[in-house]
């Protein structure tokens, strides 16, 4: 299993665990907002590198 799949499964598990405590919409916001905020905090050069690596892996 790839690292990306492990991270995705972990995120879903965390969201499901949070639903009873903070509600569905808040857990969905956390599930989508944390990775988006992390991406936006990268420098432009880091974003280019991340996109380049992602495209290379898709082409395999």
Model pLDDT for residues 19-56, shown as the tens digit of each residue: 888 888 888 888 888 888 888 999 999 989 988 887 76
Q: What is the per-residue pLDDT for 18?
A: 83
Per residue in 48-59, pLDDT (tens digit) is 998 888 776 665
Distance between CA atoms of residues 43 and 48, nearest Å: 9
Output the DSSP codes for the chain.
--HHHHHHHHHHHHHHHHHHHH-HHHHHHHHHHHHHHHHHTS-HHHHHHHHHHHHHHHT-
Q: How many CB atoms are closer than 10 A to CB 31?
A: 15
Per residue in 2-11, pLDDT (tens digit) is 777 787 788 8
| pTM given for the model | 0.59
Sequence spans of domains, the chain:
3-58
């Amino acid at each position: 299993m790839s690292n990306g799949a492990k991270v995705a499964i972990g995120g879903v598990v965390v969201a499901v665990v949070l639903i009873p405590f903070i509600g569905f919409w808040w857990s969905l916001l956390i599930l989508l907002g944390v990775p988006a905020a992390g991406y936006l905090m990268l420098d432009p050069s880091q974003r280019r590198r991340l996109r380049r690596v992602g495209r290379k892996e898709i082409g395999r």
